[in-house]
Amino acid sequence: MMKKLGLRYQALLPLAFLHEGKPHNWHDLWRTWGWEPVVLLSLALSAFLYVRGVRRLWLEASVGRGTSKLEAACFIGGWLALFVALVSPLHPWGRVLFSAHMTQHEVLMLVAAPLFVLSRPLVPFLWALPLAWAREIGGWGKQRVVQAVWGALKNPLVAWAIHAVALWMWHTPALFDATIHSEWVHTLQHASFFFSALLFWWAVVHGPQGVMGYGAATLYMFTTSLHSGLLGALITFAASAWYPAYQTTTETWGLTPLEDQQLGGLIMWIPAGLVYIVAGLMLFAGWLRESETRALRREMKAEAMLKQG
């Protein structure tokens, strides 16, 4: 009798997961999406404003002026990455597997954020607004308080520290588990990761130029790779599962809670670390080019002075 009840419970379990918006297996996964109104409205509004702004900008000037085709492609890529992270089945999957949740975070921080930074969407957004509104927003941006706050936040060291604190803080067991039990906390976590990553990538990519700027940006990128990799390694080699919220949700996916945690740690450690390393190498190449350009300028200046003498 008890055996029959157990089998009946197991048969009903997938339906319970699906009803709660939690996929139980691969078949359930593709029927479970993250249809959150705030997220959908934000994505729709951002897409509308960007398309409207780029259309107006290119009609006023010409295609590729003001916003290049590459920047437009970067915005599309970043928008699609946000859709994958926050709307696709990856989002509800993160409620049952820590490794899926970790993948979601890496898509937000290492795909969506840098692509949006490279797209420079502020100009198209302003062009999408009525002229009076755009001027009003431009006026706010010129205020001393706003300039001072933004100047402090976009300092590469400050942006690096904010992103590092967000990354380590949200991976403490208590806060991470809270995201599974509260959608508001979950939203706050995603916002912290995404906006701190936006700030970090903006400060590194569009920060101070020249030899010192490239050198500092390279250092910040490699140190981010180190500390995020360290966190990933700690999660991977932990002797026990850290996150109680996943103790009862991994079995139907063929994983123990510890194996799921180890997989999530590896995702943060290896693939994510490679993204930072590649970006750091690109900045290092820029640093070498800038140093070579300066050396050539000094040589040319010295030769000109000798000719004059």
Tens-digit pLDDT profile for residues 182-203: 889 999 999 999 999 999 999 9
| Farthest-apart Cα atoms in the chain, separation | 106
Are residues 38 and 171 both part of a single domain? yes
- The range of the structural domain enclosing residue 252 comes to 33-308
Are residues 206 and 265 both part of a single domain? yes
Are residues 27 and 174 both part of a single domain? no
Are residues 256 and 208 both part of a single domain? yes
Are residues 61 and 9 both part of a single domain? no
Are residues 105 and 27 both part of a single domain? no
SS3 64: coil
Angle at 100 between CA 277 and CA 114, to 5 degrees: 35
Rounded CA-CA distance 68/64 in Å is 4
Are residues 149 and 232 both part of a single domain? yes
Are residues 243 and 278 both part of a single domain? yes
Are residues 10 and 99 both part of a single domain? no
Rounded CA-CA distance 142/148 in Å is 10
Please name which of 232, 230, 235, 234 lies closest in space to residue 246, comparing C-alpha atoms. Answer: 235
Are residues 129 and 151 both part of a single domain? yes
SS3 227: helix
How many domains is the chain partitioned into structurally?
Answer: 2
Are residues 44 and 74 both part of a single domain? yes
What pLDDT tens digit does each residue of the chain (309 aa) get?
A: 444 444 444 444 444 444 456 788 788 888 889 888 999 999 999 999 999 999 999 988 878 788 899 999 999 999 999 999 999 999 999 999 999 999 999 999 999 999 999 999 999 999 998 888 888 887 887 788 888 888 888 888 999 999 999 999 999 999 999 998 888 999 999 999 999 999 999 998 887 654 456 778 888 989 999 999 999 999 999 999 999 999 989 998 999 999 999 999 999 999 888 999 888 888 877 767 766 666 566 666 665 666 665
270 — phi, psi (to 5°)?
Answer: -90, -70
Residue 187: CA count within 13 A, CB half-sphere: 10
Are residues 143 and 269 both part of a single domain? yes
Q: What is the DSSP letter of 88?
A: S
